[in-house]
Amino acid sequence: MYTKFNHIAHVILSRFCKYALSIYQGRSMCKELKTKLLRLSQRSQTVMNGPSARREERLQDGADILNSTVQALRGGQVVAVPTDTIYGLACLAQNCDAIKRVYDIKGRNGKKPLAICVGEIQDIYTYCKVSVKEEMLEDLLPGPVTLVLERAEVLNTDLNPFTPLVGVRIPDHAFMRRLCQMCGEPLALTSANISSQASTVAVHEFQDLWPRLAVVVDGGPIGDHSRLGSTVVDLSVRGKYRIIRPGCAFSSTVKVLENKYGLSEDTGQP
């Protein structure tokens, strides 16, 4: 009986020690995490230091969220942001180390390109060689479309070094446009998920990535739940277009390109 009692006591003590250790490790992890979860809201914004932090502090307006996000980006960090289609991971496109960090976080194939995101139509002319009418750009952007154009020399050579082309976006999302304007340079943008997994339309869907991000901007659920992302169209060949990804705006994009501007689909045939 004494031996049986000792065994029971040992089991209880062992379980208690494991429980205490898990609490200690959990608290240590919360202290180590520096991720800021910033919630966009019309009434108020809330920032939490770390995904599991208890302390909350009120922010006065969206400018505080923008400032925190810009500061993280300029520090070479990767952030998660809402767009008009899905949630994305972003960093400064001109920062080589940040670009590598994005690929590492996503587990992304190094041969798969990243798009860039800018705030205004005129920014496209700085980072791309545009061979289409400006009116066409204005008809498609801002919106759920990525235009693939020839890249300009000023764009970071470590961004997609394997191709002379680059996809450029102007999301129809006020926060994203203002963020690009405040950074004063393009953002490298890709979906907020592990490569090969489904795109995300709410921040909790990529919660496993939070600890590797400096800022997570929660703009609420994305209205378009299709998870298709933007329509990607190659306009690098004059008078032609090629759909790389149908995305969520396929029909409306093709209608503009063919009916209004007379472009023909590039089938790859001579």
Is the domain of 21 the same as that of 122? Answer: no
What are residue 150's DSSP bridge partners?
129, 165
Question: Each residue of 56-96: pLDDT tens digit?
Answer: 333 445 889 999 999 999 999 999 999 999 999 999 999 99
- Among residues 227, 217, 226, 231, which one has the least CA distance to residue 82? 217
For residue 89, report the phi and psi dihedrals to the nearest 5 degrees. -100, 135
What domain range includes position 6?
A: 1-31
Look at residue 270 and tell me if it is in a domain: no
- Among residues 118, 122, 127, 138, which one has the least CA distance to residue 184? 118
Is the domain of 16 the same as that of 50? Answer: no
Indicate which CATH number applies to the domain containing 200. 3.90.870.10
Is the domain of 12 the same as that of 115? Answer: no
Rounded CA separation 150/44 (Å):
42
pTM of whole model > 0.85? no
Is the domain of 14 the same as that of 76? Answer: no
Q: Which residue has the higher pLDDT, 51 or 207?
A: 207
Is the domain of 23 the same as that of 57? Answer: no
Is the domain of 53 the same as that of 4? Answer: no
The total number of structural domains that make up the chain: 2
Rounded CA separation 42/62 (Å):
8
